[in-house]
Structures are given as C-alpha cells and as structure tokens.
Amino acid sequence: MDDIAEPLRGMNVLVTGASGGIGGATAELFAAKGATVYLTDVDDAAGQDRARRLGPSAHYRRLDVTDESDWRAVVSEMEWAGHPLRVLVNSAGTAMKAPLAQTTLAQFRRMIDLHLVGTFLGLQAAASAMTTGGTVVTISSLRGVLATAGLGAYGAAKFGVRALTKVAALELAERGIRVNSVCPGSIDTEITSVPDFAADDVGSYVRTIPMQRRGTPDEVAKVILFLAGADSSYVTGIDLLVDGGTAAGVRTPRKQDTEGMR
C-alpha cells in the first residue's frame, strides 16, 4: 500500500530547471511522494526558496545544464551524501521564437546548447551514476513532434531531445535504466512570457487546442511522476504528449469559432 501512496519514498531525485514552472511542480510533487529531491537551476534565489519550503528532504544546488563540471559536482555530491542518483528529470530550458532567416547563429547555438547538449550531459551523468538502475525523464515539447514555423531552433533542439532519449533507452535498458520523454503542449509558465511568445494572441491559440485550455505545470508533473516511478516499469523509449489533444490531428472549427466570418 505504501508503494502506491508514496511511489518515490527513498528515491534520490535530481530535477534541473527546478526554479521554474514544470521543474518546480515536479520537485514539489516528488517531495510530497517521499523522495529526496535535489532541485537545481541557475536561478539560485527561487530554487533556494522553493527547497526551503519543501523541508529537509529537499536541497538546492546550482547546476547550469550546459556545464559538464556542474553535472559532475552535483552528482558526486549526491553520492557522497548517501543519496546516489536514481531519478533524473531534465526540465531546464527557455524558448526563442524567430523565423529561420532572422535567427542569429548565436541564438541557434544557444537553443541547441541548452536543450540538446544539456540533455546529453544529463544522460551521460545518469548513465555513469545509476549503477543499480534508475529512470530518466527528459522534457521535449509538442514543438519537438510537430514542426512549427517560427520555432526552428527550439524545435530542432526538441526533436533532438526525443532522438537522444530513444537512443539512451536502447543503450541503457539492459542496465535497468528506463529513459522516456514528456512532450508538453502549451503550459502556463514563465517560458511562454518570453518576448515574441507573449506577443501572440493567447485566446486565438487556445481555440486551436482540442481541450480549449492551456495545461498547468501540475498536470505535466503527474505524467513525469508516472514515467519516473514503478507504475511505468515496462515503459522505456516513449514520448508522452501532454498537450490537450493538439497533436491528435486537425480539429474542425466549432460553429462559434467561425460565426461572423462571412
């Protein structure tokens, strides 16, 4: 019974991007489920504050996901502290919107570095630290499943995250390490308030979502929990969309959406 109520009791979890929306909701849910959680980010103030609120089983450490030495330091510290890494959630990220022709090389490289190199380094850290098995959940995106005009750099990185996830799942399965990806649609967090994202008409965008609303960080965190814990024990190498039905296909406009159009 305890396993069902607290599927992560005794598990040592590292969450990147834990000062943010999805990573933060995941850290909070996992702590509530009995895990020891290392919250990591580059936003130290928010991360420290969240870890303090979560109590003694939560720790904040600075970890820039693009920096190999930061990964080594935090994973080694977990080992020394008697909390060897068993679950990794790679949630760090930021968005950037621009047509390809107007995307600078520096912007393109930044997206690849943050999402793809960051995920690569996390997978390497997990592969070396999870000597007795474990789980990794990477965060791709609906935009890593459906190509989206204006999101070339972000989308290329997120398509790549899914590829890396599947390769890692194949290579690590026999060592008892499962690796899966979550692909959120539009979730209400800071990331969607970056310049050019916020400029979009949220209302008209929401009308394209079959469920007619954006998702919440908690709704993504619950799916991450499923993939991280024992309830998904025979699942590896998948992409799980959390998108209100957007990728299912094209939705015929409802009558009220087209009223007054002619």
Ligand X SMILES: NC(=O)c1ccc[n+]([C@@H]2O[C@H](COP(=O)([O-])OP(=O)(O)OC[C@H]3O[C@@H](n4cnc5c(N)ncnc54)[C@H](O)[C@@H]3O)[C@@H](O)[C@H]2O)c1
Q: Amino acid letter at 149?
A: A
* H helical segments located in 112-190: 118-129, 152-172
Stretch that binds ligand X, among 35-43, 80-88, 228-236, 252-260 (CB under 6 A): 35-43
Give the one residue of 6, 64, 68, 218 binding ligand X; rule: CB under 6 A. Answer: 64
**3-class secondary structure, 20:** coil
- 6 or 247, CB closer to ligand X? 247
Contacts of 29 (CB under 8 A, 6+ apart): 218, 221, 222, 224, 225
**3-class secondary structure, 250:** coil
221: buried, middle or exposed (CB in 10 Å: 19+, 13-18, 0-12)?
A: buried
| 193-222 binders of ligand X (CB under 6 A) | none
Does 73 engage in binding with ligand X (CB under 6 A)? no
Question: Phi/psi at 41 (nearest 5 deg)?
Answer: -175, 180
Stretch that binds ligand X, among 36-44, 52-60, 103-111, 171-179 (CB under 6 A): 36-44
Q: Min. distance of Cβ 33 from ligand X in angstroms?
A: 19
Catalytic residue among 38, 60, 154, 205: 154
Does 94 engage in binding with ligand X (CB under 6 A)? yes
Active site residues: 154
Residues that bind ligand X (CB under 6 A): 16-17, 19-23, 41-43, 64-66, 91-94, 114, 139, 141, 184, 186-187, 189-192
